[in-house]
Amino acid sequence: MNYQRMLDEFFELVKIDSESGHEEAISAVLKKKLEDLGFEVVEDSSKERTGHGAGNLIATMKGSIPESDPIYFTSHMDTVTPGTGIEPVLKDDGYVYSAGETILGADDKAGLAALFEMMRTLKESGEAHGDIQFVITAGEESGLVGAREIDRDLMHAKYGYAVDSDGKVGGIVTAAPYNAKLKTVIHGRTAHAGVEPEKGISAITIAAKSVAKMKLGRLDSETTANIGQFTGGQATNIVCDEVHILSEARSIDRAKLQEQTDHMVSAFKETAEEMGGSAETDVKLNSPGFRFSEQDEVVQVASEAIRAIGRQPELLTSGGGSDGNIFNGHGFPTVTLSVGYEKIHTKEERMPVEELNKLADLLLEIVRTVVNKGKKEQ
């Protein structure tokens, strides 16, 4: 493993502008790197549906051990804003920071750099392995849009790993929530607020009373709910007749998610009817959830590999979503691995070099563990 080469490549990648929606430049670089490594690379047609600067890259490396399970790794090529003109700096504390008024982009270019170094090490050593796919998505930071629109027929893995979570290397996200988005429109009746307010029905008041009835925030260890956006009204002297509300509910338990969304929809509808108005709510499952145990194969392999690099696996539950949620929904068992980056999505983002090195070690050890498992099963 050439750690200095990996660090240099990490610097190279974070300097390439790739804010979500503008992935053209980074996609071209990644495709060339993958092809130089010997991957067969396909860019899917997802950008025609997402409007982003690139499609997803699905890269396939055929292995020489047929009994080894075909596996995949996924990272995303885009970053949040502000992510143009990034200048990475390695400081004496062993962390890489951004030198300017930008993010660093370790989310998820640290994952990409580690994956490339893992594959170079395999190639240079001549070490045998099974089939490996890299799935590098566009638009992850824009709501997982690339993964949603991926051509899943291009994926051939039995299971895989999303290399994209905070926390020290050794963490395995084995559970993440289902996520439902709610779009609500409340209708009241307009009137002059000073001359004849009693003739009006305030959609704002309906909305406020509806929200006041709701269970929101942290509901239990698996479930959360939030009102995210509230828009409506024209002037102080007009009784508002229409309000638009965006909200969400999340739960690792699908039944709990349904119970919470039903509760929120009912609160809007019943309150509106009580006040003489109406409310319509559209509920959409934004991303599927997943839950694995330490007995599941995808977890067992990662855990064994983590122990092999001298760390103890930590099984984690996430309250957020990742491409891993989407790929689980597509039928590919996936857990998310901790990368080690810190303070992501802020200008204080930083990446410890020690964790970048450990991540590459872990990815290589996962490949080896899959190979050994296949041999034992023969």
Examine the domain organization and report whether 16 and 38 are in the same domain. Answer: yes
Beta bridge partners of 243: 186, 232
Residue 300 sits in a domain of what CATH number?
3.40.630.10
Examine the domain organization and report whether 162 and 182 are in the same domain. Answer: no
What pLDDT was estimated at residue 253?
96
Q: Which residues of 186-199 are buried (b: 16+ CB within 10 A; e: fewer)?
A: bebbbbeeeeeeee
Pairwise CA distance, residues 183 & 262, whole Å: 13
Residue 198 sits in a domain of what CATH number?
3.30.70.360
Tell me which residue has tokens 């009817």.
273
Examine the domain organization and report whether 97 and 185 are in the same domain. Answer: no
Examine the domain organization and report whether 264 and 293 are in the same domain. Answer: no
Q: Please check whether residue 363 is in contact with residue 114, taking contact to mean a CB–CB distance below 8 angstroms.
A: yes
Q: How far is CA 155 from CA 56, 209, 215, in A?
A: 11, 48, 40
Examine the domain organization and report whether 171 and 153 are in the same domain. Answer: yes
Pairwise CA distance, residues 17 & 78, whole Å: 9
Examine the domain organization and report whether 139 and 51 are in the same domain. Answer: yes
> In whole angstroms, what separates CA 316 from the centre of its chain?
15
In 3D space, the residue among 109, 136, 132, 112 whose CA is nearest the CA of residue 43 turns out to be: 136
DSSP-based three-state secondary structure for 83: coil
What pLDDT was estimated at residue 45?
97
Copy the structure tokens of residue 9.
């490549």
What pLDDT was estimated at residue 125?
96
What pLDDT was estimated at residue 376?
82
Of the three residues 287, 316, 348, the one that is the final residue of a domain is 287
Examine the domain organization and report whether 315 and 196 are in the same domain. Answer: no
Examine the domain organization and report whether 271 and 229 are in the same domain. Answer: yes
Count how many domains the chain has.
2
Q: Please check whether residue 68 is in contact with residue 371, taking contact to mean a CB–CB distance below 8 angstroms.
A: yes
What pLDDT was estimated at residue 356?
98
pTM of the model: 0.92
Domain that holds residue 152: 3-176+289-377
Examine the domain organization and report whether 218 and 334 are in the same domain. Answer: no
Mark the ranges of the chain whose per-residue pLDDT is less than 70: none
Examine the domain organization and report whether 154 and 182 are in the same domain. Answer: no
Of the three residues 239, 259, 287, the one that is the final residue of a domain is 287
Tell me the catalytic residues: 78, 140
Examine the domain organization and report whether 162 and 89 are in the same domain. Answer: yes
Of the three residues 287, 311, 342, the one that is the final residue of a domain is 287
Examine the domain organization and report whether 62 and 164 are in the same domain. Answer: yes
